[in-house]
Structure 1
Amino acid sequence: MPETPETRKTRETREISVSFAPELRPLAAAPERRARVDGISTLGHVVESLGVPLTEVGRLEADGHEVPVTHVPSPGESVRVAAVTRPQRVPGAPLRFLLDVHLGRLARWLRLLGVDAAYFNADIGDAALAARSAAERRVLLSRDRGLLRRRELWAGAYVYSDRATEQLRDVLGRFAPPLAPWTRCTACNGRLRPVEKETVVARLEHGTRRTYDVFARCAECGQVYWRGAHHARLAGIVDEAMRDFGGAGGET
């Protein structure tokens, strides 16, 4: 049955208009949306139902006034949804991250820069990831919007790109973590410590023993590091990150 002017008016009186900041439009699918309200659901619930996790939401306004995510919208309200302010400060704990199974390269590159980045090379499930985020107060990084909607999360952030180079710039620009390159194990996230060549020589191949003299070892897993064939590529990643985001400096 075609919609009549009367039924259209009735429908519109039960809706609110929601406009999203440009940064959020890849998630919201449209800059402006209309949403039905029931007098019970919070504005946070409405925003998430339109595709935007609350981890990505900054200031909320209803009819020009700032409101909390717990605000229950009334029919006819005009809502504006801003993105989180960058750099985003995460209060209450040292800045640490937890990455889901699809972000392995990003985890390694964060560790390369000395950023505390926990990662499982297996799918341990959304519930376990959310629980670890809460238990260890880690910011969960993910491209899974459903995972970021879990209420037990301590903090989270959506990773917008599927390219590791862009992901790294996104995270560094959003959170501005202190950078300390070459201080973490890219395999397990443990701390690296300088070691004498003699203490690791038995673990080295002949060419490495002959060519290199400076070594470090992970205090957690024992992995040995030196400036090998891949160093130039990794140094390029480090140099770019330090040039563009290294202002914070210091240890993590």
Structure 2
Amino acid sequence: MKQARLHFYAELKDFIAPNGQNKTIVHNFKHRTSIKDVIESYNVPHPEIDLIIVNNVSVDFNYIVQNSDDIHVHPANASIKQINIAPLRHLSPQVSGEPRFVVDVNLGRLARYLRLLGFDSLYCNNFDDKTIAEISSITQRIVLTRDRKLLHRKIINHGYFVRVETPKIQVREVLARFNMYSFFKPLTRCTFCNGKLKQTEKQNIAQRLKPLTKKHYEKFLVCSDCNHIYWQGSHSIRVARLIREFSKTDSPLS
């Protein structure tokens, strides 16, 4: 029986059983296996990983694990100041500019909140895992999910496992993880379909408005994709408060 030692760092420990989070994991194996398969056998999805150091050498996911290997696995955004190894092979693709997402079926509320803030977030309640993986691979969108197995799909390069269950706190988690505060563009996307909103003259949609709406409101937005109409109704105070709360970087949401 061959053995390798694994060390997981920082937020990657979230995926390890509590009794093993702060311990060296001894992995026993008989057959030829890639380091990607070994790591994911401990439920750590590869899109969350940026560096793998084996015996003081930086390797990629295709590395074949050898007997007595000492393996150190670091997450994306990890502090690597103490890693005195060159060259380093970064495995987590860098997201340049404003991030775009494809959101799995269990995170519908998160998708709507991200759209409210102006972020391009594809979501459909009948997307299966295969469809989500293909969309991510083809369009380089970041998968947001609570399903670890989805992130194990090899074609997914950009992905993040959302840790918390409460939708409002999920938003804060994602905003912080991808440093998104400078990209806020609230009320520019349709929360129903993700299409872009555009201003329209009241006369262009008057026939679609209810009598009281037509009487009391003058400013309207229309989704360029699904044609849904938005106006500053009684709900606008709640929406504005929500946007302000999401914009704060130093106060938790409940």
Q: Name the TM-score class by shorter chain.
A: 0.7 to 0.9
Aligned runs of 1:1-252 on 2, under 5 Å? 14-29=2-17, 30-31=20-21, 32=23, 33-38=25-30, 40-85=32-77, 90-91=94-95, 95-122=99-126, 124-177=127-180, 178-244=183-249
The structure-2 alpha-carbon separation of the partners of 1:47 and 1:127, relative to structure 1 and needing over 3 Å to count, comes to same
Deviates more, 1:160-169 or 1:199-208: 199-208
**Identity of matched residues, %:** 32
The question of whether the paired residues in 2 share the 8 Å contact of 1:21 and 1:81 is answered with yes
- Aligned-pair CA distance for 1:184: 0.4
Q: What is the distance in 2 between the residues matched to 1:92 and 1:46?
A: 30
Q: Does the CA-based 8 Å contact 1:37-1:73 persist in structure 2?
A: no
When residues 72 and 130 of structure 1 are mapped into structure 2, their CA distance, relative to the original with a 3 A threshold, is: same
- Separation of aligned partners in 2, 1:134 and 1:94: 17
Code of the aligned partner of 1:119:
Y
**Alpha-carbon separation, structure 2, partners of 1:19 and 1:71:** 16
Structure-1 residue corresponding to 2:89: none
Distance 1:52 1:163 in 2: 22
Q: Which one-letter code corresponds to 1:139 in the other structure?
A: I
Deviations 1:217-247 (A, max 9, x none): 01111100012232222222322333439xx
Aligned residues: 232
In structure 2, C-alpha distance between the alignment counterparts of 1:63 and 1:236, rounded to whole Å = 52
Structure 1, residues 10-67: CA drift from partner, whole Å, max 9, x if none? x5xx222212123122212132322123462121111101110001112222234433
Residue-by-residue CA offset, 1:155-201 (whole Å, 9 max, x unaligned): 22111111111211121112234221110000111110011222222
Unaligned stretches of 5+ residues in structure 1: 1-10, 246-252
Aligned to 2:82: none
Structure 2 residue identity aligned to 1:204: L
Structure 2 runs not aligned, ≥5 long? 79-91
Residues 47 and 156 of structure 2 are in contact (CA less than 8 Å); yes or no, is this contact kept in structure 1? Answer: no
In structure 2, distance between residues paired with 1:62 and 1:152: 24
CA contact (8 A) 1:134 1:153 kept: yes
CA shift, 1:111, in A, is 0.7
Look up the equivalent residue of 2:133 and give its one-letter code: A
1:154 Cα deviation from its structure 2 partner: 4.4
Contact kept, 8 Å, 1:109 with 1:168, in 2: the verdict is yes
- Runs ≥4 residues deviating over 4 A: 91-94
- CA 1:97–1:67 in structure 2 vs 1: closer, same or farther (change >3 Å)? same
Question: TM-score, normalized by length of structure 2?
Answer: 0.82
Q: Name the CA distance, whole Å, in 2 between partners of 1:114 and 1:209.
A: 26
- For 2:249, what is the secondary structure of its paired residue? helix
